[in-house]
Structure 1
Amino acid sequence: MVWSAYMGLPLSLAAVGRVLGLEEQKMTEGKALIRYFSTPPFHEPTGAKWELFKSYNRRDVEVEMAIQRRLSKYPVPPSVWEEYVLDQEINDRGIRLDMLLVENAVQIDVRTKEKLTDRLKNLTGLENPNSVVQMKAWLKVQGFETESLDKKSVKALLTTVQCPISDVLMLRQQLAKSSVKKYQAMQNTICSDGRARGMFQFYGANRTGRFSGRHIQLQNLPQNHLADLEYARSLVRQGNFAALELLYESVPDVLSQLIRTAFIPKGGRKFIVADFSAIEARVLSWLAKERWRMDVFADDGDIYCATAGRMFHCNVVKHGENGHLRQK
């Protein structure tokens, strides 16, 4: 699959076989047979199913060999294989998690959502205030229509409404906060030694070769700006919901900002966070010798506005003139 990824092909054997139009394709019976023979309760390796299972495994090897022959003219450079070895080392080593923090964060989030839901029900009379359809209908009755209830739309609405509608929207923002789901992902991926593994997909972005995040998505973690981060962390580790609710305006926001602190280095070590700004766009601009794009970066400009402006032949300003074109 490394070879396929390097060539910009799909990351599954079946999909690569289809794309390359191989004469021998991966057998579709595989998943059911693997469940039957390789997961509890295990079945005896006999009978027609066992013969089919052996054929399935042989076919996999045949398809892999056919892919190898088809791609033989385009060998993977040694440097890419070295990157793959590094990827495997990182994924096998994993990252240690503070499961006391994680477990308590999940429980606190459940309690918070219950209280937020009750408050929203009292304010709106809705059966399910987390429902986009119901909330949009309620807003329409109040005299406000919106196409979406995403973060950007709610932020815009908050500039035009007053209480109690503003209270409802702010409460719903807290209720809809999804970043705390990362704690649940930690619960699902933790190994018996307290480490989470398999966090990266080699060549997941196969146009550029960048690793992609998997499971917890370590490449997409909320930032933290709490002045008393360590104290907030201690309250969550204690499971002190009452103190969190008393001291902080938004408990979901606190939980979100504490996500990074769930990853803990071993004794005597610390994590160093490096976040490159628009790294792919910068490097690709340099490789393609797109001088105007490099100039935008050099002048600390907005590459999305600049690109949209050239695409649509107009001036584009973030949150301003033709701002909607920026995301195109």
Structure 2
Amino acid sequence: MKDYFDEFFSSLISYDSKLLKTLSALLLKPGRITKDYINGKRVSYTNPFRFLLSLAIVYFLLVNYSGNFSDLDRYGVKTEEDFEEYLNLQPPSVSVTNDAAFDQKIDSIPYKGDYHRFLTEAKKKDSIILANPHANFMKLEEQDFAERIIHKISFFRTFILKDSIFNLKDALVKYEIAESIENQWTFNAAQGLVRLQRAPGSFVSTLISKLPFVVFFFLPLFAVFIWLVYIRKKYSYTDNLIFSFHNTSLLFILLIISYLIDYIFNVDSNGIFLMIFSVYLFLAMRKFYRQNVFKTIVKYVFLNTIFFILAVFSSVIFFAGNIFTY
């Protein structure tokens, strides 16, 4: 038992010392920790991959559990009638509130009638689809790929909302639809959209919980551009990847500090800490790659532009993917 506890506490103390040294190196010596790591001085520092994953999980847990995103579910739309009520689309004879002046202002909104006509046309379209599901679905099979996918999602969404279809198997049997990967994907997308419509808060919460793992798919792609920009340097792709992991770790450290300050003192310090990170990143690139100020500025601007483009592209794919799997 003595040997067991000695080993346990020595490992714990060793990890704490690694953590403190990693934090101090990241905060005080931009670019130094990556240079030490790729030069073989790894015993004193925590693993960059696990360290980043831990920080990402901690940050997004803080955001998720303190954001009260479940409150957004109260604004979820359960039926088409709820949708009309949510947009204040009731007929003029129906009073939304007991305030006549407020109701008059609502009635005077110019786009109210446009929404009402839009929903009326949508209802007519749904009624046509509901009248003969099999025939309407067969017509969709004749369309081009992109148009067919969009219309199939709309088709399945209509029946999920109005005909109590819970899975694709119900639709296959009830409407004599062929089983295929395309039909499975479009049904999943329609089901995800309905769930998003009914519980937007739960969708956002699920989205945030998966973000730490998205980082590990995004950064390796971004590291390719770092490697190409500094291709004349002696560093390998893996070295550049470790550099991006270390800098992203610092970003999450600053975000966590900012979040705690905002939570305790009820202020908004995100902008300040993002500016600190911007300066830090420039210094880290300058010291790690050892190039002059002008070259570093050009590559700094270029890589940050690429980072922004990749982030937007990844966000769109990630959001769409979650619709299919929600």
Greater relative CO, 1 or 2 (CA 8 Å, sep 6+): 2
Which TM-score applies when normalising by structure 2?
0.27
Structure whose residues are more often helix by fraction? 2
Based on CA coordinates, which of the two structures has the bigger radius of gyration? Answer: 2
Which TM-score applies when normalising by structure 1?
0.26
